[in-house]
Structure 1
Amino acid sequence: MCDILGLLLLHIERRIHSQTWGVEYSSTQICALEGSTVEIPCTYSYPSWKDYKKTVVQRTFWFTELNSRDPLDLREDPDYADRITYHFSGNNCLLRISDLKLMDSAEYKFRIETNQQGGSYSGSPGVTLTVTGPRVEVIRSSSGLGLVCSSRCFPPGHFSFMWFKNGEEIQGETSYSYRNPVSPEDTYSCSYEGQRSSEVYAPKSVIVSMNLTEILEDRSVTLTCSSDANPAASYTWFKDNQGLLPGGPYLILPSVHRSDSGRYHCVAENELGKTASEYVSINVEYPPKTSNVSVNPSAEILEDSSVTLTCSSDANPAASYTWFKDNRTLISEQEVHFSSIRSEDSGNYSCKSKNKHGQSSSVPLLLDVQCKCRL
Structure 2
Amino acid sequence: MPPPLANGAGLEVVQILVDLIDLVSCDGRVSFGSLCGILKKCHVGFSIVETLDSFASIAMVVFFVPSVLVSPSGEIVEGSSVNLTCSSDANPAATYTWYKENGNPDHEPFSAGPQLDLVSIQSSDSGEYYCTAENELGAKRSDSISINVKYGPKNTSVSVSPSGEIVEGSSVTLTCSSDANPAATYTWYKENGNPDRKPLKTGPQLDFVSIQSSDSGEYYCAAKNELGGNRFDSISINVKYGPKNTSVLVSPSGETVEGSSVTLTCSSDANPAATYTWYKENRTLHQGPEESYSFTSISSEDSGTYHCQSDNQYGQFNSSSLFIDVQYAPKVPSVLVSPSGETVEGSSVTLTCSSDANPAATYTWYKENEASPKASGQTFTITNFTSEHSGEYYCDARNPLGATNSSTHLIALAGKGTIYMNAARLTLIVLILITVFLLYLWIRKKKTLNSTTEPSDPVQTVQSDSDPEYENLTAALTEATEEQEDLV
TM-score, normalised by the number of residues in structure 1:
0.50
| Larger-Rg structure | 2
